[in-house]
Chain A
Amino acid sequence: MSFLTLSGLQKSFGPNNVVKSFDLDVQKGEFVSLLGPSGCGKTTVLRMVAGFETPSKGTISIDGQDVTHLRPNQRNIGMVFQAYALFPNLTVAQNVGFGLKIKGVSASESKDRVADMLRLIGLPALGDRYPFQLSGGQQQRVALARALAPQPRVLLLDEPLSALDAKIRVSLRLEMREIQQKLGITTIFVTHDQEEALSISDRVVVMNAGIADQVGTPFEIYNQPKTCFVANFVGTLNTLEATVKDAATGRISINGILTTLPAPLASGAAIGLALRPESVHLTQRTEADITLPATITSVHFMGSVIRVQATAAGKPMALDTFNRPDTPPPLIGAAVNLSFHPRDLIVLQG
């Protein structure tokens, strides 16, 4: 029995179908990310859960209770917004204590709870500051504490990191995940940043044009993308074309090289294949590897990883290799043989 259930959700603004049909079951204590480009409907789904938008169709239930038509202030939900959502006229402590005050929690109890929350977010000494005296990262931590203080049933995070500097973004997302796991609170996290979604989620929902294209663990989403959109949106991808020789056995031909895919194919003459850059190598590793002659076009040294761009059979190919201090990266213009294992090929649908 899932804790938070969204079933058949639809939302249209006038003639615009922003969310076409959306189903999702979230287990208690699970951290689920909604990932997608802007305009894909992920924020609208979140706002429907919060109660700021009423679904055109479908239901939302939390812990067995149908909340579809409850007002936001009756749902007992915590939410962190993109930025600047702290009440500017209240101190940090008053911000965190706001929900408790509304609930009618006694002053002494509220004081203890606020102190606990400030310790949890690592800012125990800043209770008397005003929001304008805090950095962006500190403000978002306080916003998290404010959302968590009344012990909500569900926590909603609406791109809480998007207005922050890159460095703080990485450290704060890990911290948020830690706090979430410590409290075991059911969380929905909306982001357009795939790295963010993959790194801290239990499950990821990739959304496209109002529909959930794929729901799965970060590992599944990245390694077994079900649609072209998911494959392209999540991570970098090389695409190849192949001719199907025998659909039943998965026999195909890439550039005249025959190979066999691990799974049978639906029948068809041509298929699209994809390869992650880390599945492509500069040297042949096993007998089963397929090799393609290629020319290096550019080399980006990024630290631990080196991203190499090459042209193989007239198409661009990207490959990642780890940096090795004893092996300098290839030179631009060098002729190489790129190799990959057929089991790493991703068959694209649609």
Chain B
Amino acid sequence: MKRAFAWAAFTFGLVYFFLPLAGMVEFSLKMRRGTYSLDAYASVLNDPQFRATFGYSAMMALLTIIFGVVLVVPTVFWVRLKLPKLRPVMEFITLLPLVIPPIVIVFGYIRLYNTSSWLPLTGSATGSDILLMIGYSVLSLPYMYRAVDTGLAAIDVRTLTEAAQSLGAGWITVLAKVILPNVLVAVLSGAFLTFAIVIGEYVFAALLDRPAFGPYLVWSGGNKAYEPAALAVMTFALTWACMALIQLATRFSKHTRMQPK
């Protein structure tokens, strides 16, 4: 009886998740009348708008990741090494983006950094791009921080740092050659997750009026028939790839990561 219930629950989940995915795939193949074809995909790939917006979002994701790593890794390292009292504060700050709805954060940006403010970031395209990237880094902060913090928890930061310093290494060398390689897997996990979050993000990009992939998706949904399904399939594949890469990185780390005592 127990096993029957278990199979029933599992099968229900399978159907619930399989049907929309199947529907999405099936629909994306129906562009040509009467037969299945990849026309919708060809149409998407040939759309210069798609290439422009996708390229823009991919670039944004990359910049967000770099910005996030440069900001988070040294900070987490420093807090662990010199300011352990600050850890609860860090925990709280990095939890906030999960508590405050993104739409409220971007609302605050628009009010605080508009053309008439002391820092008129929304006044120019570059300024808006910077604000969007920073906004994305805030969205991914909870994941990035936790990944790096867990990664650093597994190694003895103090001993490694002191050992490197006793051999004459400076702070930059310590970070780049000692700390970063040891948290590389954590950083990679955070990076792929950031990519998955950023690539299709809508609210920030739409409200800051940037030509990103998310607004393009919504536009496509309102104006095309089969292309949205093809876009959804591609986004799903991308999300899946990001998660697969995280798993791969984690598995890889089990062989290379220094064993904690």
A and B touch in the complex (CB under 8 A): no
